[in-house]
Amino acid sequence: MNTVKKNPMFLYLVVLTIGSTVGLQSWTTLFNNFAVEVAHLDGDAIGLIQSIREIPGFLALLAILVTRVIPEHRLSAISIFLLGLGIAITGWLPSLAGLTLTTLLMSFGFHYYETTNMSLTLQYFDRQTAPWVFGKLRSISAASSIFAGVFIFFMASVLDFTGIYLIIGSLIMVVALWGFTRSPASTDTVPQHRRMIVRRRYWLFYFLTFMAGARRQIFVAFSVLLLVQKFGYSVQTVTVLFVVNNMINYFLSPMIGRAIVRFGERRVLTLEYASLVFVFLAYAFTDSRWVVGGLYILDHIFFNFSVAINTFFQKMGDPQDVAPTMAVGFTINHIAAVFLPAIGGYFWILDYRIPFIAGAIMALVSLSAVQLIRLPAK
């Protein structure tokens, strides 16, 4: 992997990924407390802002239009700058309108970077190295998340929200400015289509991407709620779980990338979805707070297997379709975010087990779908 590490695009993505992860983790950690304690918002306003946060992900298709006038790697740096700017000014706008504005800025930055990150990785690294690069970036993200949590933990006792937001946002903007000074692009890559591409033969990629987004929403919306509401997990306990998750993923993510190279996407995704059937069913029926904590960690680990969906496309798609297809895929991935939490919340009130049983069914459907993966010879 020494050749990969010498590729200028690798360092570029590593540094910008650190900025992206620190930004998202900091926003997630601080948002609810800031919204309640400083902005004095109620649950309905907070829910509205959380829904608005997903809009940029749903509009990832617009990235295709932007890359007509801005090189893709430059869009990555601009996205990180918007992420940092949105976070830096959050503390000065403690209102519904203010938080809506800063959340949109932050979210456009984060989601558009994620779109270009996936695209650039698939363009600049071949099918033997791209899975490892995805795994390494996930590993770096885990370490960055731990750093962000520790930083906020210690700064919270000496600074107010405005100061913490300003410091973190400013550091992220410095990362973006560093990105503006780099030129990691190469003329050796295949020129990308600068328009929306939707091809019938990519249907399996689209379907798996949609199902992965739905599975993620079950995890994000209901797993922590289960820990807190049914099993009485405290903030400290959830924080410990979060740290353990990221420590495990720091070491495990590169191994997942190597497993994709060695065993192939179909086998890796089969393991993921077969395991998730049991994970979701166990969520629904366990009465052990220790078991549910272990399930939360396993759930988080299996989420990293989803990079195999992107490397599957790399192997079967046309090279010039990478950038537009990643944008289309990112939009498809966020379709479930628009409606699934609301529907799942309704069924949660009827019986908390229903969303998890639905998750098990979705995992079973995905398990069946990945058996259709057929890849061309290397």
State the greatest distance between any 2 C-alpha atoms of the chain, in Å, as a whole number: 59
Contact yes or no for 254/337 (Cβ under 8 A):
no
Q: Is 205 found in the same domain as 145?
A: no
Task: Give the pLDDT of residue 6.
Answer: 79
**For residue 378, pLDDT beyond 60:** no
> Considering only CA atoms, which of 322, 306, 327, 309 is closest in space to residue 375?
309
> Considering only CA atoms, which of 232, 183, 193, 218 is closest in space to residue 319?
193
The domain in which residue 47 lies consists of 8-180
Q: How far apart are the first and last CA of the chain?
A: 19
* Top-ranked range on mean pLDDT: pick from 93-102, 152-161, 182-191, 304-313: 93-102
Q: Is 114 found in the same domain as 233?
A: no
Residue 107 sits in a domain whose CATH number is: 1.20.1250.20
Task: Give the pLDDT of residue 217.
Answer: 80
Task: Give the pLDDT of residue 2.
Answer: 64
Report the alpha-carbon distance of residue 343 to residue 373 in Å, rounded: 31
Confidence band, pLDDT 50/70/90 cuts, at residue 350? confident
Does residue 108 lie in a domain region?
A: yes
**For residue 41, pLDDT beyond 60:** yes
User: Mean pLDDT over residues 242-268, rounded?
Assistant: 89
Q: Is 219 found in the same domain as 344?
A: yes
Residue 199 CB: number of other CB atoms within 10 A?
13
Q: Is 209 found in the same domain as 79?
A: no
Q: Is 211 found in the same domain as 344?
A: yes
Strand, coil or helix: what is 238? Answer: helix
Stretch among 8-12, 38-42, 277-281 having the lowest mean pLDDT: 38-42
Percent of the chain exceeding pLDDT 70 equals 95
Q: Is 200 found in the same domain as 149?
A: no
Q: Is 200 found in the same domain as 174?
A: no
**For residue 232, pLDDT beyond 90:** no
Q: Is 347 found in the same domain as 205?
A: yes
Q: Is 75 found in the same domain as 202?
A: no
